[in-house]
Each structure stands twice: as structure tokens, then as C-alpha cells.
């Protein structure tokens, strides 16, 4: 046959009538999106029809080989001519018809088949005659491009493979594609399973392949990497031993990332690029794969062995974008971040593309094994990812109605265990006690008080320790409790306030205040402890302009006014001097009996014990303590008259209040008469300090005084003392003001509570009654009930995360529990906690080894996160403190700061084949970045700047 003579590849065709019938039937099929159809030259096709219709195989109308020459623009590029018309220039046949014709008649040498795809356009389904023609290149050489044609129905994966083949890119090299429409605008082609049509890729655009660097970064991302400048290009360290830069209160994130980074199955999943095939871009519960990709970038950089520290800025931005609670740079919880991240990774990598609705069933008396298997199967029908494979286990939840005894049993998946810590009913508090004796140093006490107690309980404990009568009538002495911060009264507590509002780090001062002369207590006695008495020979006189300026600032009384007032008072000069002497002595006696107040954080001692005991009653000392400036003395005296209220404005009323106030009245009366005369006789002597009414922030508020220019504590309970710089340097002993005495109670070591991890797990599985805020709807009673609930462990995952609930929140208190939880580093046995017993030898054991720990140092309002982790390659433990990484010993790991524990099942642990590196002085410091972080200087020290 002629068909066979042209080429040896053609096969014996069937009869002509059969050929027509087969091809005609195939041509009748409907267009389906994604199917392939082929272009045939109309002339050749018409000749073939004439040939088969003649019924003569030896007819001269035999068409010969398939020839599409007329459809090509040229025979070099084989580009299809523009503006060709169907049924005039070409016909379209389905793929099966094309292959039959090709096998019967063959094709002209070197001509490529004109395959075209059926595309589903918004308004129609049609064969795409003219596909999208794009340019392909590598990011490393944007000038070297090659053109290629792709159907709008082709997946981006086809373009990806085309670039790999043309530019000889290894299949193991991780890459990503960018679509560029202009010289300045590029967009990621993230989902390789999307079609060209869906990505809006059109002819003339350029598709760029970017290949990941060996250090885990991308060439176009310009990442910020912390390196040692001396060997930034040659550094090669242990993979995974890499710090994370603190971006500002992000140590909570760094700690969680380090723990996950050292979770072997998850890290290997990303390092082997297994995630690329499982990215779920269509999951409405996910983040379109962006969280998974951002996490992969961080892991690949950390495990490249090329960096001392990585800056996770892009990851932080992605987290904030999808979880608004993590926007900005506020303090957060590492467990909250971990919970979000595990859930986000799961949904981004969920192998279930379309979740089906599943109606949950109660056990209804069925065997636990059956119900558990059903629950796990249903879980996997909607949730199937590497996170489920690695971290998910199964609870058994049992609820019992207290009214009808209905028992409800369900099995629920979990990703981590949040176990409670035993909570003590007592609390240790440290306070500074300031006695009435102005020569006594403040004393620091360690007290044991009820955790749910009130301030009155703190006073009672201090009363017992000091022997001072408690705050009870008719006792004239009262305890005032205040939080002192930055040399100011930050807060003054009422006796009925809960102790939970006082944090362990607060500096709490307790004073004995005597209602007989509270003004002396708050003003004079405080400074008397640290002020050296004036010597007459050292008195300094003020210049006139300074005195005038002083009078303007302190609203003092002028010379004339003072003289006029003294004349109006009536007594003669001699009588006034006699009265002044008597009243000054009376005032000083009041001062010596008054209780001191606080001005700073830790109060100090009195002068050396060798000081003269009667010095406190001298006129000079009274002046030095009160300021010795008469314009100020009037203000101070007016303040003293109303000083019966605490700085917080609290008023205490006793039954014998009228009798108690008799003596302050006489003191105040004497003080009122004193300033005018002293102003007249000593007006040019320089003041030690001035006093004025201020608000709680320490700033003056004008217009708050009384009509006569004085002020009262009822309207203005705060007084500020402003020292003259020269006089303060001369007479005020700042070193002495920082000293205090430690009571013997401070020598008793504070015993931290220690519990075993197993005890916490037992508490987790203890029967509890639901709270009123979270009742259970009983299907039998048809109403919400406070049912009893118990959680049991049914099955455990490969990697078990245990969250120690150190942050305790109740209606009475909020606190951070510093209980030491003794947790094993090896052989944590859960066999005693599992309800599901081993059925056969093929089931995994229940023993776990520790692989990572997230630590939290500090209290409720601030703190710092770090982590310990065991490197999966060399088995060495490391301590990660933001960008700083150091070697760690196993005995360092168990501390009261442990917050999240990561355990891996023993049968899944791969023993390291690489010996751990030996620390030496020739190594770069740490892999230790020299950058100063904004957190603690040491694991257990106080917080300096970081407040996470």
C-alpha cells in the first residue's frame, strides 16, 4: 500500500468504510475541559474524506502522509500562522482520532503535532488554537530567555518542569517561580497545581525560576542574617545550632521555633521538601500555604549550617498577618504562638482538599475500642497532615449528669497536653517595715500569708513578726501599706484589697502611722533619718533675687506680710519669742514620735549610733528637717493640719477620733504662729528644701489650694520635697538612704515547691466539676448541667508536647507558679496513664525521651523566654537565648522556668551518627552572636528591657 511505502511506521489501516465510520464517530464527541484535540490541514483532511468515500484503496485521491505545512508560519520554528480559521484553514479532531490517523498514514518528517487543549473559559468551552506563549529564564541570568507555549489548561507544574529541563536544573534543587509582566512587577506562582488560565498568565510574560541558596535563603529575598564579620562567607557550623534574632519582644516566638526546629520528624519533613507536594492552597481554614512556606524558609536557614543567627522577620510578619493578636511587638505567650503555628501548619499542609460533614456519635454503651477507632477514623477524614502524624493523640472524655446520671463518652483528638500544677494555699511575701523610731533602719521581712488573702492579712502577719499591735481599735497605731516605685508612691493599698494585686517583684513598704501627728510622720521624720543636722557656722545666706524667685515659686509669705501678720497677732516680741521656743520644742517632740514614710525603693538607715541622742530636739535640726525657710514653713504647716488622710485619699475613722486630734491641733496651732517670726529673723538663710502640694505624678497643680492659700490632704494628698542641689549634697546622705536591715526571716531559704511530672499528669486525669461558665447540655434532662468530667489518655502521638500551666487565673488571684516540676530526660513511661492497653507486639511502646524545653523566666506582666533543645544530628544539648546559643549540660535543664516539654517516643528516636562537637576557645563565640538582645542578662536574673 502507498501508505506503507512512505514510511515503515504506519500500520495496516482497516477498510475505507471502517476508517470513515470510526473517525466520524470520534469527531462527534463533546468538548471536555483538559482534553487534547489536534489541528489537521483542511486540504489534507478533505482529500482523505474523498479517498475513503471512493471505496477504492488504489484511488489517485490517496492523501499520503499527514502534512500541515500550510498551517506553519515557517518550517524552522513551526509557529502557527496567525488568524487561521477553523473549517477553512484547519479542522480539529479529538486525540483518539488523531492517533488513529497517525498510525494509518504517518506524518511528514520533522513536523510536530499541533496538539491543543480544551479550556473552560468563563462563558464557553473551546479548543485553544492559539496557546499562551511566554519566556522562561533563571533568576541568576535574566537575559538568557527561551520562549515556550502552554495551554491555558496546563498547570504551572508543566512550566516548572519545562524550565528544569531546558536549563538543566537538578530535580533535588528547591526552586520557586515568579511571573513578571513588567520590568518592575513580579508575582509568585505559588500553587503549581493551578492552571495558566487561573494564574492570569498571558502571552509575552516572563516566568522566572529562582533556586534556593545553599544557606537556605532565596536570592531575591535579601534576608538579614547575623554573621561573624571575620568569616561570614566561610562559616560552617553544626546544622540547627543557630540563634534567632529578637525583633523586639519576640523571644516567645523564638523559643517556640527552636523547640519545633529540634523536633526531628517535622524538621526532616521540611528539609526533604516533602511539604512542597502537600501545600494546600484552597483550604478555607488555612493560610494559602504562606505560613508553611514561611516556616520552611526559617527551618532551611537554621539547618543550613551557614548562619550564627537568623532574623525571622518575614515569618513574624506572616504570623501577624494571619493572627492579628501577634501584630506589633507586644509581649505574648510561647504556648499561644505554638498552638497557632501547629494549627496553621496543619491546615496549610492538610492532605484533605475537601472536608466532608461528619455527624459525631456518642458511645451509647459501645466498647471503647470501637468508639475510639471510629473517632480517629472520622478525624482523619477531615484532618490528615504531617502535624496529625506527629503530634495528635486521642482523649477519652467522660461526662456524668449530676441529676439523671446520664453518662456521655466521646473520644477527642489533642495536639498537646495542658497539665495543671498543684497550687499552694499560701504565699511568701517580702516587705520593708519602717518603724516609728526615726533612728531605726527599715527592716526587710519575709512573711507567709494566705494566697487568697487581703492586705489586712499582710498587716496581721507583719504585726505578729514585729510585735506591733494589729490594725484594731482602739489601737492608735495603724499600718499603711504602699508600693514604692521610682522614688514615689506608686500605689497605696486599702486593707480590704486582695493580695493578688501585689506582684512578687513589687517593692512593698509598711509604715506605722500615728493619727496623733500624721503630718510629722509623712514629712519630717522621713528625711530626719538621712539629714545631717545644720551647724550654725555652716548656714548659707541667700541673695535677694534668689529669695524673691523662691517666694514666687512656693507661694511663700513676703517679708512685709510676715511682719504685718506678726503685728496683727497681738503678742509682744518677748512673748512671741517665748512662745516660739516652746512651740518649736513641742513640734520637735511630735517629730520624734512620728512614723516615717517612704521616698524610694529600699529605705535606708539612720546616722551612726554615735550621734547625740538629744539632737532631735534642737531648733537647728527642726529647721533642717522642715526646710528652715519660713516661706515654705507656712505651706508645710498648712499641710500638716490636714495630714490625717493617707496619700491615697483613704480616711480612717475611729471612735475616739476627737480625742486623738487634740494634740495635732495644738501642734498645728504652734506651727501656724512659727513661720512669720522665723521669716522675719532668718529670711536670708538658704533653705535645705521646699515643700509643695502635687498630684500623684509629682507635678504641681495650681488652683487646688484653699481660699487662704493653704491646702489640705482631702483635696491634695501628695507633697513633694524639692532639695536645693548644693544643700542636698551637703546634708542629705544618699548612701545611707539605700541601706536597710534584713530580719532573720530573710535568712531562712525560700523553699520552692517541687512536684513530679507524673503528679501533674495525675491531676490532669482527676475528676472535676464543670464551672458555671461552661456547663454541659444533658440530652436526657434537656438542660445545661454542671456535670462531672474526667479526661483519660487513650493513645499518644510520636511527639508529645506537655504544657505546664504555670499561669494561674482564679476569681481571687492571678499568679505565675514557680513550682519546680521534676521531669525525666529519659524513659518517661506513660503505660500507667493509658486506658488503651497493648493489644499486640506491633503497637508502639509508651516510653518517651525529652528533646526540647521552652522556658519562661519572670512573672505575669513581664519575663523572658529561652529554650533547651537536643540536636537531632549530634545528640548534644544546646541553650537557645534569642541570637545567643551555648552548650548545655543535662543537669541544667530541669528548672522552675520549664514551661513547654517536648518528648519523642523512643522507638522513633534516631541515634546520632555524628559525634557532638567539642567546645574550644578557637570556635567562634557561640555561634554566639555579639548582638545585645533586649531581654535578660542571664537565665534567672531580673528583666532589664524585654517584657515578654
User: What span, in angstroms and rounded, lies between the C-alpha atoms of 654 and 551?
Assistant: 39
Place of cell 508612691: 489
Instruction: Say whether 750 is catalytic.
Output: no
The SS3 of residue 334 is helix
The SS3 of residue 555 is coil
Instruction: Say whether 251 is catalytic.
Output: yes
Q: Which three cell numbers stand for residue 586?
A: 513641742
- Report whether 212 contacts 177 (CB < 8 A): no
**Residue 785: alpha-carbon gap to chain centroid:** 36
User: What span, in angstroms and rounded, lies between the C-alpha atoms of 693 and 704?
Assistant: 9
Can you state the angle between helices 662-681 and 630-641, rounded to 10 degrees? 170
DSSP state of 522: I
DSSP codes joined into one string, 420-436: E----SEEEEEEEEE-S
Place of cell 459501645: 366
In terms of Cα–Cα distance, which of 191, 225, 188, 232 is closest to 207?
188
Task: Write out 580-600 in H/E/C secondary structure.
Answer: HHHHHHHHHHHHHHCCCCCCC
For 863: left if phi > 0, alpha if psi spans -120 to 50, otherwise beta; the answer is left
In terms of Cα–Cα distance, which of 837, 791, 827, 809 is closest to 909?
827
In terms of Cα–Cα distance, which of 348, 354, 414, 412 is closest to 378?
412
Neighbours of 95 (CB within 10 A): 14
End-to-end C-alpha distance for the chain, whole angstroms: 87
User: What span, in angstroms and rounded, lies between the C-alpha atoms of 491 and 508?
Assistant: 10
Place of cell 529575598: 221
Length of the chain equals 948
User: What span, in angstroms and rounded, lies between the C-alpha atoms of 509 and 316?
Assistant: 42
346, 392, 743, 864: the active-site residue: 864
Torsion, CA 869, CA 874, CA 875, CA 879, rounded to 10:
-30
Neighbours of 260 (CB within 10 A): 24
b/e per residue, 757-787, with b = 16+ CB within 10 A?
bbbbbebbeeeeebeeeeebebeeeeeebeb
The SS3 of residue 41 is strand
DSSP state of 842: T
Element (H, E) at 575: helix 573-593
Task: Write out 634-683 in H/E/C secondary structure.
Answer: HHHHHHHHCCCCCCCCCCCCCCCHHHHCHHHHHHHHHHHHHHHHHHHHCC
**Residue 234: alpha-carbon gap to chain centroid:** 34
Q: Which three cell numbers stand for residue 533?
A: 543636722
137, 160, 242, 251: the active-site residue: 251
- Report whether 121 contacts 46 (CB < 8 A): no
User: What span, in angstroms and rounded, lies between the C-alpha atoms of 750 and 753?
Assistant: 9
**Residue 180: alpha-carbon gap to chain centroid:** 37
DSSP codes joined into one string, 777-836: EETTTTEEE--EEEEEEEE--SEEEEEEE-EEE-SS-EEE---EEE--SS-EE-TTTBSS
Backbone angles phi, psi at 746, to 5 degrees: -75, -20
Task: List, by residue number, the catalytic residues.
Answer: 251, 864
Amino acid at each position: 500500500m502507498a501508505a506503507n511505502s512512505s514510511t515503515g511506521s504506519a500500520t495496516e489501516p482497516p477498510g475505507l468504510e471502517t476508517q470513515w465510520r470510526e473517525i466520524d464517530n470520534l469527531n462527534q464527541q463533546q468538548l471536555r475541559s483538559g482534553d487534547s484535540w489536534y489541528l489537521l490541514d483542511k486540504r489534507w483532511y478533505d482529500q482523505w474524506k474523498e479517498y475513503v468515500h471512493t471505496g477504492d484503496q488504489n484511488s489517485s485521491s490517496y492523501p499520503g502522509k499527514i502534512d500541515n505545512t500550510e498551517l506553519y508560519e515557517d518550517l524552522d520554528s513551526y509557529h502557527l500562522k496567525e488568524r487561521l480559521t477553523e473549517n477553512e484553514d484547519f479542522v480539529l479532531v479529538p486525540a483518539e482520532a488523531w492517533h488513529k490517523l497517525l498510525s494509518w498514514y504517518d506524518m511528514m518528517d520533522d513536523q510536530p503535532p499541533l496538539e491543543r487543549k480544551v479550556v473552560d473559559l468563563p462563558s464557553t468551552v473551546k479548543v485553544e488554537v492559539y496557546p499562551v506563549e511566554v519566556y522562561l529564564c533563571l533568576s541568576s541570568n535574566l537575559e538568557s530567555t527561551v520562549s515556550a507555549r502552554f495551554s491555558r489548561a496546563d498547570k504551572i507544574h508543566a512550566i516548572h518542569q519545562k524550565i528544569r529541563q531546558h536549563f538543566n536544573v537538578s530535580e533535588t534543587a528547591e526552586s520557586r517561580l515568579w511571573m513578571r509582566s513588567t520590568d518592575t512587577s513580579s508575582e509568585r506562582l505559588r500553587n503549581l497545581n493551578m492552571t495558566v488560565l487561573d494564574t492570569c498568565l498571558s502571552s509575552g510574560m516572563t516566568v522566572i525560576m529562582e533556586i534556593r541558596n545553599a544557606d537556605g535563603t532565596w536570592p531575591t529575598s535579601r534576608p538579614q542574617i547575623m554573621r561573624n564579620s571575620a568569616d561570614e562567607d566561610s562559616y560552617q557550623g553544626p546544622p540547627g545550632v543557630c540563634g534567632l534574632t529578637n525583633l523586639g519582644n519576640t523571644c516567645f516566638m523564638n523559643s517556640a521555633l527552636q523547640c519545633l526546629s529540634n523536633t526531628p520528624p517535622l524538621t526532616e519533613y521540611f528539609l526533604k521538601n516533602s511539604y512542597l507536594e502537600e501545600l494546600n492552597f484552597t483550604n478555607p481554614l488555612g493560610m494559602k500555604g504562606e505560613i508553611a512556606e514561611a516556616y520552611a524558609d526559617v527551618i532551611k536557614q537554621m539547618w543550613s549550617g551557614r548562619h550564627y543567627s537568623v532574623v525571622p522577620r518575614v515569618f513574624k510578619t506572616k504570623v501577624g498577618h494571619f493572627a492579628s493578636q501577634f501584630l506589633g511587638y507586644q509581649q505574648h505567650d510561647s504556648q499561644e504562638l505554638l498552638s497557632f503555628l501547629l494549627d496553621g501548619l496543619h491546615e496549610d499542609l492538610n492532605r484533605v482538599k475537601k472536608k466532608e460533614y461528619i455527624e459525631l456519635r456518642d458511645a451509647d454503651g459501645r466498647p471503647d475500642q470501637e468508639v475510639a477507632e471510629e473517632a480517629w477514623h472520622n478525624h482523619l477524614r477531615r484532618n490528615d497532615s504531617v502535624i496529625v502524624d506527629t503530634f495528635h493523640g486521642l482523649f477519652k472524655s467522660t461526662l456524668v449528669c449530676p441529676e439523671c446520671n446520664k453518662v456521655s463518652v466521646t473520644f477527642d483528638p489533642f495536639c498537646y497536653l495542658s497539665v495543671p500544677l498543684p497550687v499552694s494555699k499560701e504565699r511568701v511575701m517580702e516587705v520593708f517595715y519602717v518603724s516609728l523610731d526615726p533612728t531605726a533602719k527599715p527592716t526587710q521581712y519575709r512573711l507567709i500569708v494566705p494566697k487568697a488573702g487581703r492586705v489586712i492579712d499582710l498587716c496581721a502577719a507583719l504585726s505578729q513578726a514585729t510585735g506591733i499591735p494589729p490594725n484594731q481599735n482602739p489601737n492608735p497605731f495603724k499600718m499603711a501599706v504602699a508600693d514604692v516605685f521610682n522614688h514615689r508612691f506608686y500605689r497605696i493599698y486599702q486593707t480590704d484589697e486582695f493580695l493578688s494585686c501585689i506582684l512578687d517583684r513589687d517593692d512593698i513598704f509598711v509604715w506605722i502611722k500615728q493619727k496623733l501627728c500624721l503630718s510629722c510622720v509623712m514629712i519630717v521624720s522621713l528625711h530626719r533619718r538621712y539629714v545631717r543636722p545644720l551647724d550654725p557656722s555652716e548656714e548659707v545666706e541667700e541673695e535677694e533675687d534668689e529669695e524673691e524667685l523662691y517666694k514666687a515659686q512656693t507661694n511663700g509669705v513676703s517679708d512685709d506680710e510676715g511682719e504685718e501678720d506678726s503685728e496683727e497677732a497681738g503678742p509682744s516680741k518677748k512673748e512671741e519669742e517665748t512662745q516660739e521656743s516652746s512651740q518649736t520644742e513641742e513640734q520637735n517632740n511630735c517629730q520624734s514620735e512620728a512614723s516615717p514614710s517612704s521616698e524610694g525603693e529600699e529605705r535606708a538607715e539612720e546616722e551612726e549610733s554615735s550621734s547625740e541622742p538629744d539632737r532631735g530636739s534642737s531648733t537647728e535640726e527642726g529647721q533642717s528637717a522642715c526646710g528652715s525657710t519660713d516661706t515654705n514653713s507656712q505651706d508645710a504647716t498648712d499641710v500638716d493640719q490636714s495630714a490625717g488622710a493617707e496619700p491615697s485619699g483613704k480616711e480612717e475613722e475611729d471612735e475616739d477620733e476627737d480625742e486623738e486630734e487634740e494634740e495635732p491641733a495644738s501642734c498645728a496651732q504652734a506651727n501656724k504662729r512659727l513661720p512669720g517670726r522665723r521669716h522675719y529673723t532668718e529670711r536670708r538663710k538658704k533653705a535645705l528644701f521646699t515643700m509643695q502640694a502635687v498630684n500623684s505624678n509629682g507635678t504641681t497643680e495650681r488652683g487646688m489650694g484653699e481660699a487662704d492659700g493653704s491646702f489640705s490632704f482631702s483635696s491634695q494628698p501628695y507633697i513633694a520635697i524639692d532639695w536645693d542641689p548644693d544643700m542636698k549634697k551637703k546634708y542629705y546622705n544618699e548612701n545611707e538612704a539605700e541601706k536597710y536591715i534584713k530580719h532573720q526571716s530573710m535568712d531562712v531559704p525560700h523553699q520552692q515547691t517541687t512536684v513530679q511530672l507524673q503528679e501533674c499528669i495525675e491531676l490532669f486525669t482527676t475528676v472535676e466539676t464543670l464551672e458555671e461558665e461552661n456547663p454541659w447540655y444533658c440530652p436526657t434532662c434537656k438542660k445545661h448541667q454542671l456535670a462531672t468530667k474526667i479526661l483519660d489518655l487513650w493513645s499518644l502521638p510520636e511527639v508529645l508536647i506537655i504544657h505546664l500551666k504555670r499561669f494561674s487565673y482564679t476569681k481571687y488571684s492571678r499568679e505565675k507558679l514557680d513550682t519546680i516540676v521534676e521531669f525525666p530526660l529519659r524513659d518517661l513511661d506513660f503505660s500507667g496513664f493509658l486506658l488503651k492497653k497493648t493489644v499486640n507486639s506491633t503497637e508502639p511502646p509508651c516510653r518517651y525521651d525529652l528533646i526540647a524545653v521552652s522556658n519562661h523566666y519572670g512573672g505575669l506582666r513581664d519575663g523572658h523566654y529561652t529554650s533547651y533543645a537536643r540536636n537531632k544530628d549530634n545528640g548534644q544539648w544546646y541553650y537557645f537565648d534569642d541570637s545567643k546559643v551555648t552548650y548545655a549540660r543535662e543537669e541544667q535543664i530541669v528548672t522552675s522556668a520549664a514551661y513547654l516539654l517536648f518528648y519523642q517516643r523512643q522507638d522513633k528516636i534516631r541515634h546520632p551518627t555524628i559525634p557532638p562537637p567539642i567546645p574550644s576557645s578557637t570556635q567562634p563565640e557561640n555561634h554566639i552572636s555579639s548582638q545585645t538582645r533586649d531581654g535578660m542578662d542571664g537565665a534567672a536574673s531580673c528583666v532589664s528591657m524585654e517584657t515578654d
